[in-house]
Structure 1
Amino acid sequence: MSEIADRLEVAELFARLAWVLDEGTPDDLRQIYTKDVVVRSPRGGEIRGIDDVIAFVRETDDGPTQHVHGDVLISVDGDRADATANQLAFFYRDGEAPHHRTGLRLKYTAVRTPDGWRFQEAKINLAWQQED
């Protein structure tokens, strides 16, 4: 597979992640993360393993959200890739403007698996937040 195709597949993981978080389908995180994923975030601390990540997402459901990723940068080295992105997360009530917003900086490690690229490690850092 070409490096460009690898980079596109890793970049698509960010779009799929936003979709899963916004649609409230945490079981689909199995198609984004490896079984042994490690996620570090200000909200959850360190979470190890896909089952615990899914449980955390279920427990912290804050209602409707919209996640947007930008400034995605990917560096591929064989079967491993480092990826960074900025994430904006908007928390809202149906038909209303967002009541909470966050800006996050993401640093991920992806690996090639038999099922395609998956995130194996995630470091999520809060850049800012705004509450109405």
Structure 2
Amino acid sequence: MTQRSEHSTVMDRLAIDDLITEYAIAVDDGDWPGYRALFTRDGRADYRSAGGIEGGTKEIAAWLDEMLRHFSIRQHLIVNRRITLARHDGAPGDTATVQADYLNPMRLAGPAAGTPGGPTAPDHTSAGRYRFAARRTPDGWRLTEVVVQEKWRQVGAANV
């Protein structure tokens, strides 16, 4: 691998890592235009293993908007990112996959949630693994697919 190829690989990995971070922030902040902008035009997501739906990003963003309104506090922690860049003739390619674990604590919305002195601890936590697919576009790296594989979920009263 040449020095130029190594530099390109590092830059691609950093850009893809940023893309995954932006994904988590968009979901947690409810930034649905930002969420859709992270995907290619034909991008898809599959949340069925977590009780959700599968579809194109417009449909998914509308579903997420509706479902996540029930949670006043959301925080995606996406860790253990394993980025695999496609290679062509020893040079970095234009596609990549990412496997990453997630922990997602959330607090149900309610009259006392988020108020001073009210409960702030999560009462719904899920965890599992994401599989992301990404493609280099003229606008930078974009997601082509997100698949969630929920491994566990804990639902119950939180400590305040």
Extract unaligned runs of 5+ from structure 1: none
Residues 76-99 of structure 1: CA distance to partner in whole angstroms, max 9, x if unpaired? 110000111001111114251100
Q: Distance in 2 between matches of 1:129 and 1:38?
A: 24
Per mean C-alpha deviation after superposition, the further-off stretch among 32-41 and 68-77 is 32-41
Once the two structures are aligned, what percentage of the paired residues are identical? 30
Is the aligned partner of 1:80 residue 2:109?
Answer: no
Q: Which of the two has greater strand per residue?
A: 1
Q: Counterpart amino acid of 1:120? A: T
* Cα displacement (A) at 1:44: 2.3
The answer for the alignment partner of 1:22 in structure 2 is 28
The answer for the alignment partner of 1:117 in structure 2 is 141
Q: Counterpart amino acid of 2:44? A: V
The answer for the alignment partner of 1:5 in structure 2 is 11
* Cα displacement (A) at 1:28: 0.5
Instruction: Name which one, 1 or 2, has greater alpha-carbon Rg.
Output: 2
Is the aligned partner of 1:89 residue 2:109?
Answer: no
What is the TM-score of this pair, normalised by structure 2?
0.77
Task: State how many pairs are aligned.
Answer: 131
Q: Distance in 2 between matches of 1:86 and 1:9?
A: 19
* Cα displacement (A) at 1:56: 1.4
Preserved contact between residue 106 and residue 122 of structure 2 (Cα < 8 Å):
yes
Q: Counterpart amino acid of 1:104? A: G
Q: Secondary structure at the match of 1:69?
A: strand
Is the aligned partner of 1:68 residue 2:83?
Answer: no
What is the TM-score of this pair, normalised by structure 1?
0.92
Q: Counterpart amino acid of 1:53? A: I
Q: Counterpart amino acid of 1:51? A: K
Preserved contact between residue 45 and residue 57 of structure 2 (Cα < 8 Å):
no
Q: Counterpart amino acid of 1:44? A: G
Q: Distance in 2 between matches of 1:44 and 1:16?
A: 21
Q: Secondary structure at the match of 1:9?
A: helix
Q: Secondary structure at the match of 2:23?
A: helix
* Cα displacement (A) at 1:45: 3.1
Q: Counterpart amino acid of 2:63? A: F
